[in-house]
């Protein structure tokens, strides 16, 4: 994993898909517009021509149908990668996910595994209105029997898919829609790619900024601004919501004694609330100030650009939350 020229997040996903299709004939990609159109976010561009219609399959607009077909294919020995256009549309497949994919290992007494990977775009910021713009990762992180990956960097976009395919149980990968055009370098990692731990993206001693997905860049922006005012923030990219790496979170709190959690989900019932509860249960005596949360306003995400920006967490809100603690 050598550092090289910058590539887009979109291209990192495409390379991961291409590598998976090349390495194992059991792998195939299916979903709406993944073939002839090249993917709703161009992540599968050129793959239909390279691998053919058996390996890159366009599906009807029926999330319950093609997610269910993916579960069946996984049970039959294949390694399906199912692409759902947006997280909002994935709700149409929740019965398949909650009542089948997540439960079959348990209900079969360990006889069946479901090596299914489901990728989907999540999050707001692209003026795609309320039916295409929400962050519902917390809903999936609530479900035992599946794993939830939230790649926020080009490196994770490139290598998380391979780890997901290796897993014998369902893995859901949430790719924030605002990340696809962003650029970065693949990080060198001599010890191999570790998909089990959160990453400390910026060291700090005064406060922990804990986040994931599309909010990572906002947390880093806030941390840089706070540094100029003498407040050194540690920024943690959770990377995986289930299973959650609580050890990294608690170690950081033990050092900084303050925490702001940034989550693009709505505050009520948010994953930020789960992290806050974990901190309270495991590191209450380390806190010098109550845990703060910066989340989306509790409204359907607006279409109008200025209203959408106001509804979503922004760096200035993170900065204000931190300053209140000092």
Token code pair at residue 298:
């509790």
| Residue 97 half-sphere exposure toward CB, CA atoms < 13 A | 27
Q: Is 176 a catalytic residue?
A: no
Parallel/antiparallel/unpaired status of strands 171-176 and 207-211: unpaired
Burial 26-60 (b: 16+ CB within 10 A, else e): ebbbbbbbbbeebbbbbbbbebbeebeeebbbbbe
C-alpha torsion 63→87→17→141, nearest 10 = -110
Pair 246, 282: CB distance under 8 Å = yes
C-alpha torsion 42→48→53→56, nearest 10 = -50
Sequence-ordered list of residues with C-beta below 8 angstroms from that of 162, at least 6 positions apart, any chain: 16, 19, 20, 193
Catalytic residue among 63, 83, 175, 274: 63
Q: Tell me the C-alpha to C-alpha distance, in Å, between residue 255 and each of 139, 196, 252, 275.
A: 30, 22, 5, 17
Name the DSSP letter for residue 194: -
Give the C-alpha separation, 291 to 212, whole Å. Answer: 17
Catalytic residue among 11, 32, 83, 132: 132
The 3-state DSSP class for residue 318 equals helix
Q: Is 63 a catalytic residue?
A: yes
Burial 238-253 (b: 16+ CB within 10 A, else e): bbbbbebbbebbbbbb
Active-site annotation, residues: 63, 132
């Amino acid at each position: 994993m050598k550092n090289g020229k910058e590539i887009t997040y979109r291209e990192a996903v495409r390379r991961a898909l291409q590598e998976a299709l090349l390495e194992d004939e059991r792998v195939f990609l299916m979903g709406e517009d993944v073939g002839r159109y090249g993917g709703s976010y161009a992540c599968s561009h050129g793959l239909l021509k390279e691998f053919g219609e058996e390996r890159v399959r366009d599906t009807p607009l029926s999330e319950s149908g093609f997610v269910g077909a993916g579960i069946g294919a996984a049970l039959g020995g294949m390694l399906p990668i199912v692409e759902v256009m947006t997280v909002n549309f994935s709700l149409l497949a929740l019965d398949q996910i909650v009542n089948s994919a997540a439960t079959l290992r348990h209900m079969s007494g360990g006889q069946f595994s479901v090596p299914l990977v489901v990728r989907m775009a999540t999050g707001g910021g692209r003026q795609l209105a309320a039916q295409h713009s929400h962050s519902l990762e917390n809903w999936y992180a609530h479900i035992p029997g599946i794993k939830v990956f939230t790649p926020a960097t080009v490196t994770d976009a490139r290598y998380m898919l391979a780890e997901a395919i290796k897993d014998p149980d369902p893995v859901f990968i949430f790719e924030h829609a605002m990340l696809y055009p962003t650029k970065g370098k693949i990080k060198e990692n001599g010890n191999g790619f570790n998909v089990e731990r959160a990453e400390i993206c910026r060291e700090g001693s005064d406060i922990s900024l804990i986040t994931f997905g599309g909010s990572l860049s906002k947390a880093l922006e806030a941390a840089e601004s706070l540094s100029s005012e003498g407040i050194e923030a540690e920024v943690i990219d959770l990377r995986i919501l289930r299973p959650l790496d609580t050890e990294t979170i608690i170690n950081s709190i033990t050092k900084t004694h303050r925490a702001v959690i940034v989550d693009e989900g709505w505050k009520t019932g948010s994953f930020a609330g789960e992290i806050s509860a974990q901190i309270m249960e495991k590191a209450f005596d380390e806190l010098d100030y109550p845990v703060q949360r910066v989340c989306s306003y509790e409204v359907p995400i607006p279409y109008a650009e200025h209203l959408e920006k106001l509804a979503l967490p922004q760096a200035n809100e993170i900065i204000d939350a931190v300053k209140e603690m000092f």
